[in-house]
């Protein structure tokens, strides 16, 4: 196999690992997968901010007083940079680019189709609930008749017995 073919098989061979890419400033394929990458960044950044807030609130930094805010701010800056670099890490960025490409291929339903499908689902759920309630009542009645289950007078069997015996 020629050296050119080996290079084509491993396109990320010249790129460094995660730690070397962590300290770069450039964007990896900046015009591809922008929406998914931005949403991923904001999600990771929000999680990082909430984590830094919890560290600040914990007893870990309680002895620092006002210095705890500086530690939290420093932690937020480091974690924001980390989240920015994660979404530009070549392997993860390629995954996000592929996700956005696949999401663009999805055929989304119209509002009417969505409403009709939701009505079908609701009808099936309520029908199944009524069906299971009916069978539960039937089996409870059968088990009370044959003596497997006993009740204190407030069961379906007692209700049926009282309904037929009062006439």
In the chain (167 residues long), the average pLDDT of successive 10-residue segments reads: 48 57 69 82 88 77 70 83 83 87 90 97 98 90 80 66 65
* Ranges of each domain in the chain: 15-105, 111-160
pLDDT value at residue 121: 98
Q: Report the distance separating Cα 44 and Cα 81, nearest Å.
A: 11
pLDDT value at residue 7: 47
Query: Would residue 146 be called left, alpha or beta, if left means φ above 0 and alpha means ψ between -120 and 50 degrees?
Result: alpha
pTM (predicted TM-score): 0.50
pLDDT value at residue 12: 47
pLDDT value at residue 4: 47
Helix, strand, coil shares, percent, the chain, to 5:
75, 0, 25
Q: Report the distance separating Cα 92 and Cα 167, nearest Å.
A: 76
């Amino acid at each position: 196999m020629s050296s050119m073919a080996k290079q084509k098989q491993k396109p990320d061979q010249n790129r460094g690992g995660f730690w070397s890419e962590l300290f770069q400033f450039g964007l990896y394929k900046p015009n591809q997968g922008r929406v998914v990458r931005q949403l991923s960044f904001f999600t990771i950044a929000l999680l990082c901010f909430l984590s830094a807030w919890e560290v600040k609130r914990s007893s870990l930094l309680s002895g620092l007083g006002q210095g705890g805010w500086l530690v939290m701010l420093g932690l937020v800056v480091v974690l924001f940079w980390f989240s920015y670099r994660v979404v530009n890490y070549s392997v993860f960025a390629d995954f996000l680019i592929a996700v956005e490409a696949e999401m663009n291929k999805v055929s989304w339903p119209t509002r009417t189709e969505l409403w009709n499908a939701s009505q079908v689902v609701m009808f099936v759920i309520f029908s199944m609930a009524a069906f299971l309630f009916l069978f539960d009542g039937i089996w409870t009645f059968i088990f009370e008749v044959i003596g497997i289950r006993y009740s204190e007078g407030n069961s379906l069997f007692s209700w049926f017995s009282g309904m037929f015996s009062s006439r």
